[in-house]
Structure 1
Amino acid sequence: MSLTSNRTKHRVKPPRKGLQGDAGGFEQMWPELRDAFGEVHKKCASKLSYEQLYRKGYTLVLKKMGIQLYDGIKESESVWLKAEVLGEIRAVLAAGQFQTSSGRSENEQRIYGEEFLRIMKNTYNDYMTSMSMIADVLMYLDRVFCKDHRCPTVFSMAMGLFRKIVLEESAYPNDPVNVLRHLTDIILFQIQLERSGEIIDKSLIRQCVYMLEGLYVTDQEREEDRLYVNAFEPHFLDTSREFYKSEAERMLFESDAGAYCRIVRKRINEEQDRCRSTLSDLTTEKIVRVVENELIKNQIGNIIASPSGVRHMIDNDLFDELELIYELESRIDKRKGELKKALQKKIVEAGMEVNNAAIAASQASAAPAQAGEGGESSSRAPAEKSGSNQTVAALTWVDDVLKLKDKYDLIWQRSFDQDQDLQTALTRSFSDFINSATFPRGSEYISLFIDENMKKGIKGKSEAEIDQLLDKAITLLRYVLDKDMFERYYKKHLCRRLLMNKSVSNDVEKQMISRMKIELGNSFTVKLEAMFKDMTISEELTSGYKNFIHNMGATDPTRVDLSISVLTSMTWPLESMGGAIENSDSGGRSKCKFPPTIERVRQNFERFYSEKHSGRQLTWLSNMGTADIKAIFPKVQTKEGYKERKHELNVSTYAMVVLLLFNDLPADQRLSFETIHAETNIPKADLVRTLQSLAVSPKTRILVKEPMSRDVKPTDHFCFNEGFKSPFVKVKVGVVMAGNKVENERERRETEQKNEASRGFVIEAAIVRIMKQRKELSHQQLIAEVLSQMAAQFKPEVAMIKKRVESLIEREYLERLDGQDLPAYRYLA
């Protein structure tokens, strides 16, 4: 007889007629079948006839004896399993070939365990092979009787008996622990050895797992009823959970954070490989989740906060270890909550250190100026030095912030896979410390940074480097919440650059404004663009005026050349430029009195301008102009003999007016401070600074002051310094309108006050726009919409919004609605 163990399906055909063996009933045929099946189990089936055995089974089913045949098989298999299979397993256990007592070494336990697994594997494989052959013989019983009576097939019934009689029976008589639990414990012990670094027989365990996967806890053989899933896997996951819980505590004590993360990744990979090679793919996700929960989820906060955690990694540029932290937390939290929290705290702390360093440097720089506040003129030198030092502190602050930004950008790119959630957290952290209540200078410092680069920083840089610089400026601007305060400072600094011709490139200036427009909208840049438009028109006016003078036929060699800047009063922040706007009205301050030559030039330009723009009024800002004067000093003896000294003096307009007073005076004649003031009408504060630059500064002492001191007082007298010497032909005298610098506290308060007043108008405009569109609105809705509209410019206080609402009600733009449960308003057309 040729019987195979393959469970292939065959088409059932009735036996051929005329064959022997179909006579008799169940009592005659069953013993023959039972004995034959016994021979199959004993591996002595080579002499049996498949066709004769099949015919007997077929005949019994045909004669309606299927129930007796099915029960007989069940009984005979039960006897075989108890006597032969279970008996062999118990004999092995009883003989002491497997023992897990503490008296045995791990190696001995491993050997005994492998022996037991080998017996279980062989026993199960032999029984499954035998039952496959028997099931083939009884195929007709399966196809007819089992199907009609909805009972398990012969093979399934036998596998159920194997589970009940072999696996679920006690390992020893009266032993509460069954064979299955022994099997489970041995497999778990082998796995524990492998986790400890020992080498085990993976294929042997895999064969036993196949057995558990092929058996079911019920006869229905549903997928979820596999013995592996219900009996082995829960114990495996429970012991693994305890193992990794202990390992987490041990690793936290013994390892640093980086080593801990590397071990965790290694453990996850090991468990995945173990499921592929030793256990079952069904367990992969479950065991990985156990490892993640015990080693990552329950410990990630401790790992990140440890002395070798995220702070240490950031400080020492440990990008790979930061990547491990990111990778591990991503497994258990898609939002990376703990890592995000640690990063934000670290950035804000580092940023506050930068802020505090800038504040300390600014205060140290301000001390000399405060010490010299005895008088306006006496405090000018320390004040200028203080302003310069504070400006350096401001630029240092921006450089430090950009370095911090570059550092975390690099970490974000190399370690955090450019995660957008973390990018948002980084942006929020930078915004937090830049807009800190203890550091109100962010907007001013960023504007000064742009100012410095527009004047010097971009010189000699390539186009790519300039683009990178502009990108950094825009990045810093994104962090600023009070965009309106930045706009105020930027306009002020741009104003000085344009009027003093300090910009390296107008094209780069316009690029910067274009980027601001993209980032913040057209309303933010409209006045900045208008300033450039004014400068372009001014160049055209200057050129047109020169042609106008040329057409007049003026050929006077002493004629004064004029370059003019005509500025739109509502566009330029002229109030922040120093000095006073001069008005000719009786209620205002008197205009500066120009010498006749200059006055004639002024009148000519006004006539030229009025012809082009009738009805427009020009207000002259003498405090903001400059002049180039050719000065000839008396002859002095040199190596070549007596020689006149000629210098070209670059001075402010005020200084030009003062110097021209001495043009026709005898050398020994002096002018008092009061006389100069009366002759020029220059505001006294500006006149003091002008005379100090001309008579006190050692390198530009064109006038002599009596008595000589650093202070300029109303009782002082001045005369022309015939002995002035300079190694340079061109001499630049410090002008009143100095370069951009950090505001002092007084200037800062003034700027904030002006900005607050401006915000009031902006808020009112927003309220009117909203109410005009909505007609009626509740108080809370109105507040929410105003806050939403203002978010791009600044974050207004709710109290300020309420105040502006009250003002609009008083001026009858709005009215309160009566009879409403909640406060509400109506727009009045």
Structure 2
Amino acid sequence: MIRCIFLVLDRTYVLQNSMLPSLWDLGLDLFRENVLSREHVRERCFFGLLNLIKRERSGDTIDRCLLRNLLSMLNDLHIYHTMFEKRFLHETEESYSIEGSAKRSSMEVHEYLIHTERRISEERDLCLACMDHSTLKPLTLCVEEQLISKHTEALLSKGLSHLIVENRIDDLMRLYKLFSAVKDGIQSLCTHFNKHVKNVASLIVLDVSNDHTMVQDLLDLKEKLSNIVTKCFSKDLKFVEALREAFESSINKRQNKPAELIAKYVDQRMKSGNKEATEVELDRTLDQIMMLFRFIHGKDVFEAFYKKDLAKRLLVGKSASVDAEKSMLSKLKQECGGMFTGKLEGMFNDISHSKELMAQYRQHVTTKKEGKVPNIDMSVNILTMGYWPTYPPMEVQLPSYLVKLQDSFKDFYLSKHSGRKLSFRASLGHCVLKSKFKNGNKELQVSQFQALVLLLYNEATCFSFLQIKSDTQIEDSELRRTLQSLACGKARILTKSPKGKDVNDGDNFNLNTEFKHKLIRIKINQIQLKESVEENTDTTERVFQDRQYQIDAAIVRTMKTRKTLSHQLLLTELYDQLKFPLKATDIKKRIESLIERDYMERDKDNTTQYHYMA
């Protein structure tokens, strides 16, 4: 009011005297010196202001206009930053320190995060509405320090795993947002995330009782966690790497078995019996499997089991999709290179060439009109020994007409490829037998061993175990499993006496002329050994044997180049060259073996030094 009355002086007299302050500035100086410079007045003013803010934080409705005007006055008097703001931030720190400890103890983590987010938002609104905007940054930092930074470890230890297990997407997004604002918050969150993933993934990998679900459980876990990283953690590269490292560490805590199970999982998905998946779904599944494959160190173990199962699918025609098989091969080649997939590609080429060869053979038989060849549709796959798994030969007694059929093809093949050796593997053969029963004709899909047994019943209706063994020459344990499948399975083409699941030397087997089945074409499943254990052990042992050869070759190659090398440097070279997990003890054994075979020798004066021997 005074300024308005004497405004003319401001415009005339003061303007002509530059040393004089304006009436407004003079009034502010006088008010500051005579009113707010008095401590008891200033303290009561500050107390009132802080009390208003405290009531606002408690949820009361206050006169924000009054608060804004008072704080604006302090700013005009140049004591807002120098006196009030420091006091305000100190009070805020104490208030939220107490509140943070109390709420953390009484609230669940997700509730605490919501509370913290709300508090930060409220403080921002109050500051922008009533205070100088420069206060916003230190105020926000103060609240974040007291509600987040001080409780980082407790919040993450108490609640992160629960939020992830429960898939609380919104709460995890809130957690990431809040922790992004504080120093080292993201690093702490990332460390705890990595630890959680390792704990959960390791439990899955090390739980031997659930091996049958391990791969699917890992795929489900990875998909869930990847979704969290994408949606909640903004695809932050720190979390992408933390997830990758945690999975790689966990999946390799148990050597070899995960690689084997991943290969078997692929086999299950690739088999034609897997009707659930479309081509698109199958390709997506293969991409997920490749993600797990990248984590395993023992990729040679995967390759061995994958090759064994792929061979079965190709030879028995059980692949769900040739395109899917080739897609998987392409993914493996892209990941590991042509050396890894060379033999697998060779297997596909063998199957393709075999189809062409069979077309030529059928044309040859038709053209030559070989009357001696029985009218039986035969298909032969020519397998290159180096590409395929090892199949032990098993000599069996074939009926004469099947021998003629084999000889006819063998003569044809050797006439086109002189100098090659061709041998048949009965264990891989399979047939379709047309059978006549009282209740109708059936087509039986059987293995070659099952076929040899059933063909005997064209001559008689009853045979003893020993007669069958003598007439077929099938190896004893294989014959017992074959007879179990024919006489003790779901489709009982034969009847056994005496009854029982086990096949003994004194048993007799009769043709079941009363056989009934709703289907015309029936697959007679072969009884499996706990084959899995024996066969899998053999496969694993072959991998270890191959590793020994690779270690030997790498040592000789390195020593031949370097001539003389210390033990430690040799280890370093081998770790760099070889792609499978290596133990120092295994390398030491191979070095000893090479020394015994005179490929290298120890230095006479320094036993940790080796010399190459030409």
What range is the shorter-chain TM-score in? 0.7 to 0.9
Q: Closer, same or farther in 2 for the Cα pair 1:802/1:311, shift >3 Å?
A: same
Partner of 1:763: 551
Is the counterpart of residue 302 in structure 1 residue 119 in structure 2? no
CA distance in structure 2 between the partners assigned to 1:331 and 1:49 by the alignment: 50
Aligned with 1:322 (options 172, 181, 185): 172
* 1:725 aligned partner: 515
Which is worse superposed, 670-679 or 600-609? 670-679
1:650 aligned counterpart, secondary structure = strand
What is the aligned counterpart of 2:242 among 394, 415, 425?
425
- Based on CA coordinates, which of the two structures has the bigger radius of gyration? 1
**5 Å matches for 1:178-193?**
187-193=49-55
The alpha-carbon deviation at position 769 of structure 1 amounts to 5.2
Q: Secondary structure at the match of 2:377?
A: coil
Match of 1:224 in 2: none
Q: Which amino acid aligns with 2:193?
A: L
Find the partner of 1:606 among 385, 410, 423. Answer: 410
**Match of 2:102, as an amino acid?**
R
Q: CA deviation at 1:495?
A: 1.2
Return the match for 2:429 from 609, 612, 625. Answer: 625
Cross-structure match for 1:656: 451
Among 145, 155, 158, the alignment partner of 1:293 is: 145
Equivalent position amino acid for 1:760 in 2: Q
Partner of 2:491: 699
Alignment-derived partner of residue 752 in structure 1: 540
State the partner residue of 2:505: 714
The one-letter amino acid of 2:346's match is: A
The CA distance in 2 between the partners of 1:479 and 1:485, in whole Å, is 13
CA–CA separation in structure 2 for the residues paired with 1:690 and 1:419: 58
Shift of 1:547: 2.0
How far the C-alpha of 1:485 sits from its partner, in A, is 1.7
Paired with 1:776 and 1:799, the residues of 2 have a C-alpha distance of: 21
| Residue among 683, 694, 703 paired with 2:475 | 683
Alignment partners' CA distance in 2, 1:281 and 1:823: 71
Contact 1:205-1:279 at 8 Å conserved across structures: no
Paired residue for 1:480? Answer: 296
Counterpart contact for 1:271–1:288, Cα < 8 Å = yes
Deviation digits for residues 723-756 of structure 1 (CA, Å, limit 9, x no counterpart): 35334554443346x6xx9865444444433322
Say if 2:268 and 2:274, in contact at 8 Å, map to a contact too.
no
What letter is aligned with 1:795? P
Do the aligned residues in 2 keep the contact of 1:446 with 1:473 (CA within 8 Å)?
yes
The 3 A distance-change label for structure 1 pair 761 and 292 is farther
Post-superposition offset of 1:592: 2.1
Structure 2 equivalent of residue 804 of structure 1: 590
1:196 match: 58
Residues 732 and 267 of structure 1, relative CA distance in 2, 3 Å threshold: closer
Opposite residue 340 of structure 1, the aligned amino acid is C
Q: Closer, same or farther in 2 for the Cα pair 1:191/1:680, shift >3 Å?
A: same
Moved more, 553-562 or 511-520: 553-562
Identity %: 31
CA distance in 2, matches of 1:187, 1:773: 83
- CA offset at residue 807 of structure 1? 3.4
The equivalent of 2:25 in structure 1 is 128
Check if 1:501 corresponds to 2:311. no
Asked if the contact 1:202/1:277 (under 8 Å) is kept, the reply is no
Between 243-252 and 402-411, report the one with greater CA deviation. Answer: 402-411
Distance 1:253 1:194 in 2: 24
Task: Provide, for residues 357-381 of structure 1, a one-character-per-residue CA deviation record: whole Å limited to 9, x for no partner.
Answer: x74367xxxxxxxxxxxxxxxxxxx
Supply the RMSD in Å over aligned alpha carbons: 3.9
Contact 2:373 2:405 in 1 (8 A): no
Distance 1:497 1:48 in 2: 100
Residues in 2 aligned to 1:292 and 1:555: alpha-carbon distance in whole angstroms: 94
Confirm whether residue 410 of structure 1 aligns to residue 227 of structure 2.
yes
Letter in 1 for 2:105: F
Output the amino acid matched with 2:589.
K
Match of 2:280 in 1: 464
CA 1:258 to 1:47, structure 2 compared with 1: closer, same or farther past 3 Å? closer
Instruction: Measure the CA separation in 1 of the matches of 2:559 and 2:372.
Output: 64
Deviation, structure 1 residue 300: 2.2
Cα pair distance change 1:350/1:183, threshold 3 Å: same
Query: Which letter maps to 1:268?
Result: I
Residue 519 (1) aligns with residue 335 (2): yes
Cα deviation, residue 620, structure 1: 1.7
- CA contact 2:201–2:251 (8 Å) conserved in 1: yes
- Compute the displacement of 1:50 (Å): 5.1
Code of the residue aligned with 2:172 in structure 1: it is L
Could you tell me which residue of structure 2 aligns to residue 400 of structure 1?
A: 217
The question of whether the paired residues in 2 share the 8 Å contact of 1:693 and 1:701 is answered with: no
Separation in 2 of the partners of 1:560 and 1:45? 122
Of residues 309-318 and 489-498 in structure 1, the stretch that sits farther from structure 2 once superposed is 309-318
| 2:90 alignment partner in structure 1 | 238
Change (3 A) 1:724 1:769: farther
- Tell me the CA shift for residue 459 of structure 1: 3.7
Shift in Å, 1:251:
1.7
Question: Scaled by the length of structure 1, what TM-score is found?
Answer: 0.65
| Partners of 1:335 and 1:421 within 8 A in 2 | no
Measure, in 1, the Cα distance between the counterparts of 2:52 and 2:613: 85
Residue type at the aligned position of 2:259: S
Rounded to whole Å, the distance in 2 between the matches of 1:335 and 1:781 is: 41
Residue type of the partner of 2:270?
Answer: M
Q: Which residue identity is paired with 1:807?
A: S
- Is the alpha carbon distance of 1:555 and 1:433 closer, same or farther for their aligned partners in structure 2, counting shifts above 3 Å? same
Q: Which runs of 5+ in 1 are unaligned?
A: 1-39, 59-69, 78-124, 132-158, 172-176, 215-226, 363-393, 583-590, 639-644
2:182 match: 332
Distance 2:4 2:58 in 1: 41
Partner Cα separation in structure 1 for residue 10 and residue 337 of structure 2: 95
| Mapped contact 1:209–1:280 kept (Cα < 8 A) | no
- Residue 325 of structure 1 and its aligned partner are, at CA, apart by 1.0
Determine helix, strand or coil for the equivalent of 2:344. Answer: helix
**Alpha-carbon distance between aligned partners in 2 of 1:461 and 1:674, rounded to the nearest angstrom:** 46
**What displacement does 1:535 show?**
0.8
Task: Provide the C-alpha distance between the structure 2 equivalents of 1:188 and 1:781, rounded to a whole number of angstroms.
Answer: 70
1:721–1:778 distance in 2 versus 1, CA, 3 Å = same
Deviation at 1:313, TM superposition (A): 3.0
SS at match of 2:433: strand
The alpha-carbon deviation at position 480 of structure 1 amounts to: 2.8
Q: In the TM superposition, what is the alpha-carbon distance from 1:488 to its structure 2 partner? A: 1.7
Aligned ranges 1:10-409 → 2 under 5 Å: 46=8, 128-129=25-26, 171=38, 177=39, 187-198=49-60, 199-200=62-63, 201-211=66-76, 214=78, 229-306=81-158, 309-333=159-183, 336-351=186-201, 354=204, 359-360=208-209, 394=212, 396-409=213-226
- Count of residues in Structure 1 that have an aligned counterpart in Structure 2: 610
Cα gap change, 1:329/1:810 in structure 2, threshold over 3 Å: closer, same or farther?
Answer: farther
Cα distance in 2 for partners of 1:49, 1:513 equals 90
Structure 1 residues 691 and 329: CA distance shift in structure 2, 3 A: same
Letter in 2 for 1:360: S
Q: Which amino acid aligns with 2:136?
A: T
> Which residue among 339, 359, 362 is the counterpart of 1:546?
362
Structure 2 unaligned runs (5+)? none
Q: Match of 1:144?
A: none
Question: How far apart in 1 are the matches of 2:283 and 2:612?
Answer: 47
Alpha-carbon spacing, 1:648–1:243, altered in 2? closer, same or farther (3 Å): closer
Residues 45, 404 of structure 1: CA spacing in aligned structure 2 closer, same or farther, 3 A cutoff? Answer: closer
TM-score (normalised: structure 2): 0.85
Q: How far apart are 1:706 and its partner, in Å? A: 5.2
Aligned-residue offset at 1:328: 1.0
Tell me: CA distance 1:524–1:673, structure 2 relative to 1, closer, same or farther (3 Å).
same
**Aligned AA (2:280):** A
Aligned partners of 2:168 and 2:297: how far apart in 1? Answer: 32
Q: Deviations over 1:533-557 (max 9, x none)?
A: 1111111222222222223222458
What amino acid is the match of 2:68?
S
- Pick from 389, 396, 407 the counterpart of residue 592 of structure 1: 396
CA pair 507-552 structure 1, distance change in 2 beyond 3 A: same
Q: Specify the code of the residue in structure 1 equivalent to 2:330.
A: S
